[in-house]
Amino acid sequence: MFRILIHWLVSATAVYVTANMLSGIAIRSFGAAMIVAVVLGLINVFIKPLLVVLTIPTVVLTLGLFMLVINALMLMLAAWFVDGFAVSSFWWAVLGSLCISLVSWLMSSVLNI
């Protein structure tokens, strides 16, 4: 249970740091970042696998680069669901999803989780 809470805080921190680094992504507070982390987790569990399966030929054809598009769409979907979190365009969503992944990976490796 403690491990899940740590992952949740790491994800929320990654969203918050990314929103503060990129001008095209806005977040109201760290509380909103915690909600975004939960929503992104749920979207990644329930919706993303369906999209990945439906777009397998495109993912293979682009050597996996289409996954950037899918991740950006998931971030934009989370912004649509969460009040206090906004992504201004698709390209900001692409950059934001890359930054969230990078910050999350760095924090996880530093915390050794």
What would the pLDDT profile of 17-41 be if each residue is shown by its tens digit?
Answer: 999 999 999 999 999 999 999 999 9
Q: Which domain holds residue 24?
A: 2-111
Per-residue pLDDT averaged across 50-54, rounded? 96
pTM for this predicted structure: 0.92
pLDDT in tens, 82-107: 999 999 999 999 999 999 999 999 99
Interaxial angle between packed helices 90-111 and 2-21, expressed in degrees from 0 to 180 and rounded to the nearest 10: 140
Closest to 35 in 3D by CA, of 24, 43, 47: 43
Cα separation, 16 vs 10, in Å, equals 10
Cα separation, 58 vs 97, in Å, equals 19
Predicted pLDDT at 47: 96
Predicted pLDDT at 98: 97
Q: CA-based angle 84:72:104, to the nearest 5?
A: 75
CA distances from 78 to 60, 63, 64 (A): 26, 26, 22
Task: Give the number of domains in the chain.
Answer: 1
Predicted pLDDT at 113: 79
